[in-house]
């Protein structure tokens, strides 16, 4: 671990969100921090990148911390690409994303801008962690997370991560301290959508996406289980989507 | 396999793209087809969903085929959610996405709107296939793909797919017929970005994302290798991103 590691910080709730401000303050205790984060909320952006449009990226000062900061008009994945290709003059030692206002456990990892930024860093060979708190409110209390985030970041800086693996860390919402930290697998759950159908002032129908999260996974080794039991969940995540277990069977098909 | 399976068709290049028009014509030979596709191009949208904005979805007639069609203002993933929750009165037997104008091999699966639609269907428990052709041009020649697409769709209808697995099918660009079909794993490759920096008429700097695809994976079992060798690649893809191979090691950390 370098004496003053270079740490890239980003998120999907936008550069002024309390979650990222907390994360920046913790990272300032560990290393030299550069923030490149969206200029507006980007929740649910998944791994979107900006192909057909321009991207702006401007230096800003938001508080009195030691970090350098840039706000970017792109998606979370764009922010990481921009950081690595344009802003930083060396590869960061760590990328942290979040703290997301809301859970990114289970299938939410797929829709999450927070996790897409961490995964993008992982694709670039940078150890990365996405942090999320199971509290969607803007004024969520992040105070109790700080010591755990610092410890996890130091562990990753110390031990590194295997090529192609990043961490998805979710904190339960609780008044007390957490009951512990649990290494988990992603629960097999999904959203059951309910579109809220309305009529606009011109008489045209439109929809709002809403839904209920449904977890049918009874395992006690999942991130959802951990959060329900006041444990911090840590899921190692990779971006090799190959379903290796089905390759042999698929080879027996008449293709 | 039902006598007339219900087939959902979508894509990310937009409902008028030649790729999806070809796919619809093939599916009309197999079953009852309902198309719900974006009203405009959505390349690079990854698994984005529309949380903070409205979605429109309108019935349209584009050609004389037997399919029912709806154009949707949302992302590819939104289209699938909309289809299942609002448009269809039963679960489709198959969802096909594409044919994408451009490759979705290797890491492109992460950025791909085409594959996010297939994955979204997979999350909902629907057998799904994403089809892509390694030719970015609007007027790409899809003719030679038809018989292979039909065969693959019939195989999936016949055999089903395991829970949580969808297929990512990529066709090489070739004047001749393909040399065969190969079941592959996702190559470990990435994009090396180069942002094209420009100045707008008001004197403000902005960027366009560009990049080169770099494949350092020497394996002869990857999708990139197959395409380079004029083979159609078929990668089984899943959305359990858990890096199971790292769980044991991670448990030995002092968390």
**pLDDT tens string B6-51:** 999 999 999 999 999 999 999 999 999 999 999 999 888 888 899 8
Residue A113: both structure tokens together: 């801008």
- Between the alpha carbon of residue A144 and those of residues A59, A121, A178, the distances in Å are 30, 26, 9
Lowest mean pLDDT among A115-119, A130-134, A171-175: A171-175
Instruction: State the number of CA atoms in the 13 A half-sphere of A97 facing the CB.
Output: 34
Percent of chain A at pLDDT exceeding 70: 100
- pLDDT band at A151; cut points 50, 70, 90: very high
Residue B159: both structure tokens together: 């055999």
The answer to whether A83 contacts chain B (CB < 8 Å) is: no
Average pLDDT of chain A, as a whole number: 95
Q: pTM above 0.90?
A: yes
**Mean pLDDT to the nearest integer, B111-128:** 96
* Residues, chain B: 255
- pLDDT band at B67; cut points 50, 70, 90: very high
Read off the CATH number of the domain in which B124 is found: 3.40.1210.10
Inter-chain touch B234–A247, beta carbons under 8 Å: no
Supply the pLDDT for residue B248. 96
Cα B130 to Cα B111: distance, rounded to the nearest angstrom: 13
**pLDDT tens string A76-114:** 999 999 999 999 999 999 999 999 999 999 999 999 999
For residue B199, tell me if it sits in a domain.
Answer: no
Cα A222 to Cα A105: distance, rounded to the nearest angstrom: 9
Measured between beta carbons, the chain B residues lying within 8 angstroms of A234 are 250, 255
**Partner-chain residue, chosen from B168, B193, B236, that has the shortest CB–CB distance to A85:** B193
CB atoms within 10 A of CB B220: 11
Phi, psi of A81 (to 5 degrees): -60, -45
The answer to whether B46 contacts chain A (CB < 8 Å) is: yes
**pLDDT tens string A152-194:** 999 999 999 999 999 999 999 988 889 999 999 999 998 998 8
- pLDDT band at B1; cut points 50, 70, 90: confident
For B157, the domain range is 6-185+219-250
Say if residues A194 and B55 touch (Cβ distance below 8 Å).
no
Inter-chain touch A250–B236, beta carbons under 8 Å: yes
For residue B201, tell me if it sits in a domain.
Answer: no
- Is residue B2 predicted with pLDDT exceeding 80? no
Measured between beta carbons, the chain B residues lying within 8 angstroms of A47 are 46-48, 110-111
**Mean pLDDT to the nearest integer, B227-233:** 97
Percent of chain A at pLDDT exceeding 90: 89
For residue A16, tell me if it sits in a domain.
Answer: yes
For residue A208, tell me if it sits in a domain.
Answer: no
The answer to whether A239 contacts chain B (CB < 8 Å) is: yes
**3-class DSSP state for residue A193?**
strand
Residue of A nearest to B125 (CA): A190
SS3 for chain B is CCCCCEEEEECCCCCCCHHHHHHHHHHHCCCEEEEEEECCCCCCCCCCCCCCCCECEEEECCCCCCCEEEEECCCHHHHHHHHHHHHCCCCCCEEEEEEEECCCCCCHHHHCHHHHHHHHHHHCCCCEEEEEECCCCCCCCCHHHHHHHHHHHHHHHHHCCCCCEEEEEEECCCCCCCCEEEECECCCEEEEEEEEEEECCCCCEEEEEEEEEEECCCCCCEHHHHHHCCEEEEEEEECCCECHHHHHHHHCCCC
For residue A190, tell me if it sits in a domain.
Answer: no
The answer to whether B45 contacts chain A (CB < 8 Å) is: yes
Say if residues B132 and B140 touch (Cβ distance below 8 Å).
no
Supply the pLDDT for residue B136. 93
Inter-chain touch B209–A50, beta carbons under 8 Å: yes
The distance of B183 to chain A (nearest Cα, Å) reads 6
Residue B186: both structure tokens together: 């996702």
Residue with token string 């797919």: B161
The answer to whether A107 contacts chain B (CB < 8 Å) is: yes
- Between the alpha carbon of residue A101 and those of residues A134, A173, B79, the distances in Å are 7, 11, 26
Say if residues A65 and A83 touch (Cβ distance below 8 Å).
no
Supply the pLDDT for residue A226. 97
Burial B131-144 (b: 16+ CB within 10 A, else e): bbbbbeeeebebee
Cα B183 to Cα B169: distance, rounded to the nearest angstrom: 9
Domains of chain A: total: 1
**pLDDT tens string B200-213:** 999 999 999 998 99
What ipTM was estimated for this complex? Answer: 0.93
**Mean pLDDT to the nearest integer, A214-242:** 96
For residue B194, tell me if it sits in a domain.
Answer: no
Provide the total of helices (H) and of strands (E) in chain A, helices listed first.
Answer: 7, 11
**Nearest C-alpha neighbor of A163 from the set B107, B246, B215:** B246
Cα B91 to Cα A21: distance, rounded to the nearest angstrom: 44
Residue A62, exposed/middle/buried by CB under 10 A (0-12, 13-18, 19+)?
middle
Residue A228, exposed/middle/buried by CB under 10 A (0-12, 13-18, 19+)?
middle
The distance of A64 to chain B (nearest Cα, Å) reads 26
Say if residues B194 and A85 touch (Cβ distance below 8 Å).
yes
- Is residue A21 predicted with pLDDT exceeding 80? yes
The answer to whether A237 contacts chain B (CB < 8 Å) is: yes
Measured between beta carbons, the chain A residues lying within 8 angstroms of B251 are 183
**pLDDT tens string A191-217:** 998 899 999 999 999 999 998 999 989
For residue B1, tell me if it sits in a domain.
Answer: no
- Axis crossing angle, helix B18-28 with helix B146-159, rounded to the nearest 10: 50
Mutate one of B57, B238, B250, B252 to test the A interface: name it (highest A CB count within 10 A): B250
For residue A203, tell me if it sits in a domain.
Answer: no
């Amino acid at each position: 671990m370098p004496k003053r590691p270079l740490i890239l910080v980003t998120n999907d709730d936008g550069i002024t969100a309390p979650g990222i401000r907390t994360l920046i303050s913790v990272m300032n205790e560990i290393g030299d921090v550069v923030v490149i984060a969206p200029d507006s909320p980007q929740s649910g952006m998944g791994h979107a990148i900006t192909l057909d449009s321009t991207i702006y990226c401007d230096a800003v000062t938001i508080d009195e911390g030691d970090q350098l900061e840039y706000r970017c008009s792109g998606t979370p994945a764009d922010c990481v690409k921009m950081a690595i290709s344009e802003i930083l003059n060396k590869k960061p030692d760590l990328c942290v994303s979040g703290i997301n206002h809301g859970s990114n456990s289970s299938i939410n990892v797929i829709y999450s801008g927070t996790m897409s930024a961490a995964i993008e860093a992982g694709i670039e060979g940078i150890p990365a962690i996405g942090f999320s708190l199971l509290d969607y409110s803007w004024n969520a209390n992040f105070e109790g997370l700080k010591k755990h985030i610092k410890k996890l970041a130091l562990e990753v800086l110390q031990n590194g991560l295997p090529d192609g693996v990043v961490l998805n860390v979710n904190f339960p919402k609780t008044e007390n301290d957490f009951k512990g930290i649990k290494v988990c697998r992603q629960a097999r759950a999904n959203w059951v959508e309910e579109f809220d159908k309305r009529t606009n002032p011109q008489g045209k129908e439109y929809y709002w996406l809403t839904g209920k999260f449904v977890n049918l996974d009874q395992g006690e080794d999942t991130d959802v289980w951990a959060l329900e039991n006041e444990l911090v969940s840590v899921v190692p995540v990779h971006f090799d989507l190959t379903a290796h277990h089905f390759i042999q069977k698929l080879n027996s098909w008449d293709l």
